[in-house]
Structure 1
Amino acid sequence: MVKYYKQIIEDNMANKINIAIIGIGDCASALIQGVENYKKNPDKIIGLLPEIKQYSVNNINFVLGIDVNSNKVGKDLSEAIFIEPNCNIKLFEPKFLDAPVIKGPVKDGLNSNIKKIIPLDNNQLDSDVSKEIKKKNVDVAVILLPTGSHNAVKFYAMAALNAGACVINGMPSYVAKDPEIVKKAEDLSLSLIGDDVKSQIGATIIHRSLANLFPMRGAILDRTIQLDWGGSSDFCNLLTPRANGKLVYEEGKRQAKTEAVVANLQNKDTIECQISAVDYIPFLKNQKEAYMRLEGRIFGGAPVRVDITMFVEDGNNSAGVIADCIRVSKIAKDRKIGGVLHSACSFFNKHPPEQLEDYVAKIRLVEFIENKRER
């Protein structure tokens, strides 16, 4: 594996993939730390798909950040990723990247609980996002905004496309399922990957795998729950207080996670499935914990129950997947493929236009990478 990555780096060093990150939170922090660390230490590379041979992390070139946090605006990305409320584990300190963080329009990005922890400065003027993306010759724009920022996600996706950049949507809001955005991407021969990135070894992929195991082994899954909690700004954002003081889970996230877990089950319409974030616990920082329970029936109607708990650094769990998405997006751009990359969406995302079994999605993705499938 190490020899393989070193060879790619040597063969393809000059071909940069210019990246704009929209939303400089914990996932962005983990992504930038990881990529810059791997550039310096290729012998440490893990957590990336080896099938993507055209580009390595060494080709990923961060050139622009977009955020609304007044403490991050005006900083270089190498500095902004460590500014609160970011709390991702610090594994590597990147050198100066010459990648400024500009202020973008807030839109509906702070409509939830997260507005309590994001400082704004009305004296900071919104930048012309499309103009700045174009000026930086961005190849791929990565959207990592707070969950629930539906209008903001669409605005930034359209701005990126208008500037000539492919779009990766890491959030539950629709991009790959939005007809207007898809049409724009097709017309401009720019690719889309979305929606809602599926973590590398996350609660959703584990839950989905266990749920699919039941019918694979001839059993019936009757009901299942998943409860998540953590200390990152994402959990602060997911749980929004209503007027009665009750905390409400962001519905788009619930829908994306539920669909991802039960989508391929024949009895998906009758399974009792409850998925929810249960609390924001600041001292956990970017650590996420999850509990899953699956109840069903085996031979003779006998009951079976599976309980599992997991712990993970949440930002890093998505960052490697985003790095793979970036490399796949650049392959599509090289081939002038516009619109939804269905194989990539199905493999990398919880809420893709087409839900597939994970092994089928992986086969199709590899076929795309090897130019044996159009998209």
Structure 2
Amino acid sequence: MEKIKIAIVGIGNCASSLIQGIHYYDGKKPEEAIGLMHWDIGGYSPSDIEVVAAFDVDERKVGKTVDEAIFAKPNCTTVFQEDIPKYETEVKMGHVLDGVADHMSDYDDEYTFVVSDNDPVDIVKELKESGAEILVSYLPVGSERAARFYAQCALDAGIAYINCMPVFIVSDPVWSAKFKEKGIPIVGDDIKAQIGATITHRTLANLFKDRGVKLDRTYQINTGGNTDFLNMLNRDRLDSKKESKTEAVQAVVGERMDDRNIHIGPSDYVPWQDDNKLCFLRMEGRTFGDVPMNIELRLSVEDSPNSAGCVIDAIRCCKLGLERGIGGQLTSISSYTMKHPPVQFSDDEAYENVEKFIRGELER
């Protein structure tokens, strides 16, 4: 079986975890494959993915081969697969646009982006020449212009697009129509974790609803020490991120909560946490007899491997979409792996829809 050829924009922690995972699972048997939601999707295993093009703007990554760049600063995620084969694919200079927040320059180079002075390459030309079938976007939160630029590049190159960041491309009917017209599948927006803050919050909110408990107030506060959390210190870049995370929970609570009673979003940057993310979650409700109760939860996860477990399924489902000639939104895998998909389903429904899509029983 031929490899699924992907391009990646943003060779940060998330890309590092994904690429490590591709090689970590290579040669393993299904029963040995811990940490996967699916071993086989349409005949493709995790190691059937090949990175044929890569783009970044950091001088420590541009010009390096992919196997070198994924371990370059400011990346700080766990290294669970040190043995990465030598890549021929070189990281090319991308377009900065609004991808780097001004305040990032106030921090030590070890923790922030150091923008290369190389000229940006012709992205569409690189995508076409590489033979990439899918462009995976790992742009920083708040990169509104950059997200749309790279989505247009995917369109112009005639390849599929997976939007892992919280700018609304796939869930935007205008963008969706563009990809549908060209017969190109898209998956997005804003990647979930396998077991992260959003999926845990959704599960508990759904439990409250199913067990007849009135949810009155809730918050979800997150801290971390990677560039994502440093970037999000600029609150002006958080509108779409906060909306994405909040709507993911609002979608399952039943009766919509008043904005004052639900707070979900990043809280602070703690450098020593590196890629570890801490979630502090509180839910206040009323049970039988209008009697109050509450839940408090602390969740600690390594952020980037947690997201890679979803992306590795999104890529393979997107490949099935290409093989089946589907254009536009892939609603099943989007609702299963993304916080702000074009259609919100309960997590049980999303899981069933993905299984049906993989078997070819559901079109999207």
Shift of 1:115: 4.7
- When residues 42 and 231 of structure 1 are mapped into structure 2, their CA distance, relative to the original with a 3 A threshold, is farther
Shift of 1:187: 1.9
Per-residue deviation, residues 322-358 of structure 1 (Å, max 9, x unmatched): 0000000000000110100011111111001111101
- Quick check: 2:10–2:139 contact (8 Å CA) kept in 1? yes
- Quick check: 1:158–1:181 contact (8 Å CA) kept in 2? no
Residue 264 of structure 1, aligned match among 219, 232, 252: 252
- Quick check: 1:63–1:97 contact (8 Å CA) kept in 2? no
The within-5 A match list for 1:149-160 is: 149-160=143-154
Residue 102 of structure 1, aligned match among 82, 89, 92: 92
- Quick check: 1:249–1:276 contact (8 Å CA) kept in 2? no
- Quick check: 1:17–1:61 contact (8 Å CA) kept in 2? yes
- Quick check: 2:205–2:252 contact (8 Å CA) kept in 1? no
Three-state SS of the structure 1 residue aligned to 2:7 is strand
The equivalent of 1:55 in structure 2 is 44
Three-state SS of the structure 2 residue aligned to 1:239 is coil
Q: Which amino acid is 2:271 matched to?
A: P
Three-state SS of the structure 2 residue aligned to 1:359 is helix
Shift of 1:57: 1.2
The equivalent of 2:355 in structure 1 is 366
The equivalent of 1:238 in structure 2 is 232
The equivalent of 2:275 in structure 1 is 286
TM-score, with structure 1 as normaliser: 0.91
The equivalent of 1:18 in structure 2 is 5
| 169-178 or 330-339, which deviates more | 169-178
- Quick check: 2:217–2:262 contact (8 Å CA) kept in 1? yes
- When residues 112 and 193 of structure 1 are mapped into structure 2, their CA distance, relative to the original with a 3 A threshold, is farther
Shift of 1:112: 5.0
Shift of 1:174: 1.2
The within-5 A match list for 1:202-281 is: 202-240=196-234, 250-270=238-258, 272-281=261-270
Per-residue deviation, residues 104-132 of structure 1 (Å, max 9, x unmatched): 1111111354455211232x111000110
- 2:27 aligned with 1:27, yes or no? no
The within-5 A match list for 1:315-354 is: 315-354=304-343
The equivalent of 2:109 in structure 1 is none
Three-state SS of the structure 2 residue aligned to 1:39 is coil
Residue 119 of structure 1, aligned match among 97, 100, 114: 114
Per-residue deviation, residues 218-258 of structure 1 (Å, max 9, x unmatched): 11000000110011111001111xxxxxx667121111111
- When residues 352 and 39 of structure 1 are mapped into structure 2, their CA distance, relative to the original with a 3 A threshold, is same
- Quick check: 1:54–1:331 contact (8 Å CA) kept in 2? no
Three-state SS of the structure 1 residue aligned to 2:44 is coil
| 136-145 or 32-41, which deviates more | 32-41
Q: Which amino acid is 1:119 matched to?
A: V
Per-residue deviation, residues 162-212 of structure 1 (Å, max 9, x unmatched): 212111100010110233421221122111100001110001100111011
- 2:18 aligned with 1:38, yes or no? no
- When residues 56 and 115 of structure 1 are mapped into structure 2, their CA distance, relative to the original with a 3 A threshold, is farther
Q: Which amino acid is 1:219 matched to?
A: V
Shift of 1:76: 0.7
Q: Which amino acid is 1:19 matched to?
A: I
The within-5 A match list for 1:137-176 is: 137-176=131-170
RMSD of aligned Cα (Å): 1.5
Q: How many residues align?
A: 355
Which whole-Å CA distance do the structure 2 matches of 1:157 and 1:115 have between them?
A: 27
- 2:295 aligned with 1:306, yes or no? yes
- When residues 288 and 254 of structure 1 are mapped into structure 2, their CA distance, relative to the original with a 3 A threshold, is same
Give ranges in structure 2 of 5+ residues lacking alignment.
107-111
Which whole-Å CA distance do the structure 2 matches of 1:60 and 1:309 have between them?
A: 34
Q: Which amino acid is 2:20 matched to?
A: Q
- Quick check: 1:189–1:337 contact (8 Å CA) kept in 2? yes
Shift of 1:52: 2.0
Which whole-Å CA distance do the structure 2 matches of 1:172 and 1:282 have between them?
A: 23
Which whole-Å CA distance do the structure 1 matches of 2:67 and 2:277 have between them?
A: 24
Which whole-Å CA distance do the structure 2 matches of 1:356 and 1:264 have between them?
A: 8
Shift of 1:153: 0.7
Which whole-Å CA distance do the structure 2 matches of 1:281 and 1:42 have between them?
A: 38
Shift of 1:42: 4.3
- When residues 205 and 53 of structure 1 are mapped into structure 2, their CA distance, relative to the original with a 3 A threshold, is same
TM-score, with structure 2 as normaliser: 0.94
Per-residue deviation, residues 38-68 of structure 1 (Å, max 9, x unmatched): 1144464222233624211121011111111
Three-state SS of the structure 1 residue aligned to 2:299 is strand
Shift of 1:83: 0.8
